[in-house]
Amino acid sequence: MRQDDGFSAGAILLSFVLGGIVGAGVAMLLAPQSGIETRKKIRDFVDDVSEKATDYASHTREKVMSTVEKGKDFIDEKKAALATAFEAGKEAFEREVRK
């Protein structure tokens, strides 16, 4: 789904997600707690985000591969139908030329 200004819905959603991640990181850095606790929270947060990003990338890769396979099947199907139609037209032309 494209917007009038050229940004896709996915790009806008990704912008909000990344903004939320940055905001959460800044909030953790500014929270009144010890450095050890802050580093542990940041490490846990980064690990969680990394895991989610990996899952998202894997899911997206699977969807893209599925869509590519469907596209290949569609093209092969249409190519076969077009070849059949071309051969039928060629035979009809040859029959008309022989008359």
Beta bridge partners of 11: none
CB distance 25 to 42 below 8 Å: yes
Q: Which residues of the chain have pLDDT under 70?
A: 1-7
> Terminal CA-to-CA distance of the chain, rounded, Å?
55
Question: What is the predicted pLDDT for the residue at 26?
Answer: 79
Question: What is the predicted pLDDT for the residue at 5?
Answer: 60
Whether the model clears a pTM of 0.85, i.e. scores above it, the answer is: no
Instruction: Report the C-alpha gap between 73 and 78 in whole angstroms.
Output: 9
Judged by phi (left if over 0) then psi (alpha if -120 to 50, else beta), residue 6 lies in left
20: its two tokens = 């939320």
